[in-house]
Amino acid sequence: MTNNTKTLKSVSLYGEEEVDLVIENDLITQILPSGTSDKGEVINASGLIALPGLVDLHCHLREPGSEDAETVLTASRAAALGGFTCVFAMPNTKPVADNAGVVEQVKHLGDEAGLVQVQPIGAVSINQSGNELAELGAMAQSAAQVRIFSDDGNCVSDPLLMRRALEYVKAFNGVIAQHAQDPGLTKNSQMNEGSVSATLGLRGWPAIAEESIIARDCLIAEFVDSRYHVLHVTTARGAQIIKEAKERGVKVTAEVTPHHLLLTEDLIEGYSPVYKVNPPLRTKRDVLALQEALASGVIDCVATDHAPHSEENKDCEWDQAAFGMLGLETALSVLIQTMIKTKKISWRILAERMSLSPAKIAGLNDQGQPIAVGSYANLVLVDPNAEWTVKPENLASKSQNTPYQGLTLPGRVVHTIYRGKFTVKNSQVQA
Amino acid sequence: MKHLLSTASLSKADALKIMDVAENLSSISDRPIKKLPTLRGRTIVNLFYEDSTRTKISFEAAAKRLSADVLNFAAKGSSVSKGESLKDTALTLKAMGADAIVVRHPSSGAANQLAHHNWIDANVVNAGDGTHEHPTQALLDAFTIRRVLKNSSGDLTGLNVVIVGDVLHSRVARSNLWLLNTLGAKVTLVAPPTLMPRNIESWPAETSFDLDESLVNADVVMMLRVQQERMQDAYFPTVREYANRYGLTQKRLHVMNAKSIVMHPGPMNRGVEISSQIADSDKSVIVNQVQNGVFVRMAVLYLLLGGQSDDL
């Protein structure tokens, strides 16, 4: 028995049976009847639910380039506090992560922080400008081993470039993750187009701008038989198009953000830019359809689109404000509120959507493993009965642009374990 | 009332109070000295981020007739191109002791933010924010309608008002729609389909794409200005086609009700949305609108800055 042994005593696996979970070094080595193990450091986990460490396919860590808003270290803290053991970093940094050098730098910063596995996403096109393919193969072969490529924030709107990208990444089992937004239909768009935008006098962002790109891309992915991932689906029709594509065998996967599962466009009535996000908040009908699609598996996973912005980019006129909202520290609680409390899904399905599926889409073998003997000890222990009130100043992120300010949310991350080490213990980050 | 940000949030009682106070204040313009001491020592800032001649001088005249000190803060272009945010400007004006801010801004919601984002504690009057609202324009329009088409009820019950033009981008149309509805008028919005908002069925108005059909029963015809930039964005093919289909031309006079009146918030594009003959005809109350604008803005400033309607 080594010093790196611990027992999580009387922990409930997936909200089901209670067990004693024994961790040695970075592996789960034994699962014993509750109350029978005293090996190593014993942590009383009675009343806590254990899930596989969460995996987030969609974050903006802002480093390099916008360290005033967030760094890899501060985002790693936020991620650990949110129960994540792996986060994917979008390439819209300064410089853009469109080459092996930048993705390796981001990977290295993540390793240095050491709180979560940081996996860079590479840009599809040089400088995310939508003109020429970036060196996708070089990024795949680099130390960062990039498999997901995206121009997130920009849509790959040129159908030929999209086709080429989808074809090219087949050589290394890559996937193209699309920010579905037809730029011609969304010039200066500010919020969902509908009765609220009409009344507020904010330029509308039609649902069809998203849906038409999803439909087109599903056809291209089908034609070239490659893997296509839809970032942050926000409309009922978008989910329907994905469902139909899946039914005819298209290799399409999709994600939804916590905020699109909870928040609706009418929050914008006071013009607070904290609700300004791309893609925009939609209608109640869309929210319910997205919850349904996540429950049924049409939408494969939850991704936060964690997008920190410094105060000067948010405390200003609506149309001058930046798009985006924080998400890492609140994601699990929002999912408990929208999906668990409402009995739309079980904890086991939650684990599927927030850990197993995203790891699989990313082609990661060492994350998103089920809680079993021999799996890596990547775990989150959540108190399902706790509640907490979101206070921006208490968040670990360097920015404060949370849309949940003042909301009381259910479920609290108590411990997060990454490769056998506590990154969060008693809700305190360990670095 | 602390602020006047929109007519959507204005109660009928407050709207009528503003109009009644404006009526009382209008008598001052007949006096040899057109000034009241009411707001002496109070500072009103005209904060204009967009070019505007008539609205700005109208507010300035209103404030001066109430003896307020008026500061004009004109910012060219948007706050960003100028390099100072609305927030910093608000903090500056706070430091200068502004009691009220009259704000015009290209961003929808800017007046709302000034009033509610804890930047400054002054009274805020929205003088036009983006494509959202322009409440004093609607109040002066309602005031003008009430004066011309006298109605025993004191409000606008039973009147048919047709608003014609770029409804999608017009803050004047929005403010008028809500206020006219509050005051009991029936509103019909007329525009080409491209300039009509989607989901408009949630608005308390009839809609039509056909101007001639809508003119028949109109008591009031309100024409909206066509902005040059709509042309470039292909909302309609040519100015000539727009003028033919949606302009108030001489040939449309015969379908109009004999007693109906014609309004325009200005500045007019003569020959586009309205012909010169109609703009200068007996039907036109466009000059009255300008004159009434001063009275209505006096009433708004008077009431926001603490005057009581029975003091007059």
* Whether residue A185 is found in the same domain as residue A220: yes
In a domain, A320, yes or no: yes
pTM: 0.94
pLDDT at residue B308, rounded to an integer? 61
Q: Structural domain tally of chain A?
A: 2
In a domain, A175, yes or no: yes
* Whether residue A64 is found in the same domain as residue A176: yes
| DSSP SS3 for B303 | helix
B9, B105, B107, B119: best to mutate for the A interface, most A CBs within 10 A: B107
Is it the case that residue A150 has pLDDT exceeding 50? yes
* Whether residue A112 is found in the same domain as residue A251: yes
* Whether residue A91 is found in the same domain as residue A230: yes
| Closest by CA position to B22, among listed B193, B146, B128, B114 | B146
Which residues lie below 8 Å from residue A10, measured CB to CB, with a gap of 6+?
Answer: A18, A19, A20, A34, A35, A44, A45, A46
What residues of chain B lie within 8 A of the CB of A201, using their CB? 108-109, 129-133, 171, 174
Contact B79, A315 (CB under 8 A): no
Question: What are the tens digits of pLDDT across the range B167-222?
Answer: 999 999 999 999 999 999 999 999 999 999 988 889 999 999 999 999 999 999 99
Could you say which of A310, A332, A362 is where a domain stops?
A362
Residue A355 sits in a domain of what CATH number? 3.20.20.140
ipTM of this model? 0.92
* Whether residue A340 is found in the same domain as residue A308: yes
Kindly indicate the confidence band of residue A123, based on its pLDDT and cuts at 50, 70 and 90.
Answer: very high
In a domain, A367, yes or no: no
Read off the pLDDT of each residue in A15-37 and give the average, rounded to a whole number: 97
Could you say which of A362, A397, A414 is where a domain stops?
A362
The alpha carbon of B168 is separated from its chain's Cα centroid by a whole number of angstroms, namely: 16
Domains and their CATH numbers in chain B: 12-134+293-311 (3.40.50.1370), 135-289 (3.40.50.1370)
d(CA A121, CA B180): 54
In angstroms, the first-to-last Cα distance of chain B is 18
What residues of chain B lie within 8 A of the CB of A316, using their CB? 79, 85-87
Instruction: Provide the token pair at A222.
Output: 């089908």
Question: What are the tens digits of pLDDT across the range A264-312?
Answer: 999 999 999 999 999 999 999 999 999 999 999 999 999 999 999 999 9
* Whether residue A44 is found in the same domain as residue A60: no
In a domain, A414, yes or no: yes
Read off the pLDDT of each residue in B116-136 and give the average, rounded to a whole number: 94
Kindly indicate the confidence band of residue A239, based on its pLDDT and cuts at 50, 70 and 90.
Answer: very high
Touching check for B203 and chain A: CB below 8 Å?
A: yes
* Whether residue A69 is found in the same domain as residue A38: no
- Active-site positions of A read 305
| Closest by CA position to B134, among listed B110, B98, B155 | B110
Distance from CA of A194 to the nearest CA of B (A): 6
What residues of chain A lie within 8 A of the CB of B202, using their CB? 195, 198
Could you give the residue ranges of the DSSP H alpha helices within A201-303?
207-224, 236-247, 258-262, 284-296
Instruction: Share the mean pLDDT of chain A.
Output: 97
Is it the case that residue A182 has pLDDT exceeding 60? yes
Could you say which of A362, A391, A418 is where a domain stops?
A362
* Whether residue A397 is found in the same domain as residue A281: no
Residue A42 sits in a domain of what CATH number? 2.30.40.10
d(CA A46, CA B150): 77
In a domain, A303, yes or no: yes
| Closest by CA position to B188, among listed B170, B176, B172 | B176
Instruction: Provide the token pair at A339.
Output: 């999906």
pLDDT at residue B309, rounded to an integer? 56
Is it the case that residue B289 has pLDDT exceeding 50? yes
Q: What is the DSSP letter of A354?
A: I
- Give A 156-215 residues with CB within 8 A of chain B: 190, 193-195, 197-204, 206
User: Quick check: B129 and A315 CB within 8 A?
Assistant: no
Question: What are the tens digits of pLDDT across the range A362-415?
Answer: 999 999 999 999 999 999 999 999 999 999 999 999 999 999 999 999 999 999
| Closest by CA position to B107, among listed B126, B125, B79, B130 | B130
* Whether residue A139 is found in the same domain as residue A43: no
In a domain, A369, yes or no: no
Contact A237, A211 (CB under 8 A): yes
Chains A–B, number of C-beta pairs less than 8 Å apart: 77
User: Quick check: B109 and A318 CB within 8 A?
Assistant: yes
Give the angle B7-B103-B83 at the CA atoms, nearest 5°: 140
Domain range enclosing A146: 53-362
What residues of chain A lie within 8 A of the CB of B112, using their CB? 270-271
User: Quick check: B199 and A198 CB within 8 A?
Assistant: yes
pLDDT at residue B78, rounded to an integer? 47
Question: What are the tens digits of pLDDT across the range A296-355?
Answer: 999 999 999 999 999 999 999 999 999 999 999 999 999 999 999 999 999 999 999 999
Touching check for B227 and chain A: CB below 8 Å?
A: no
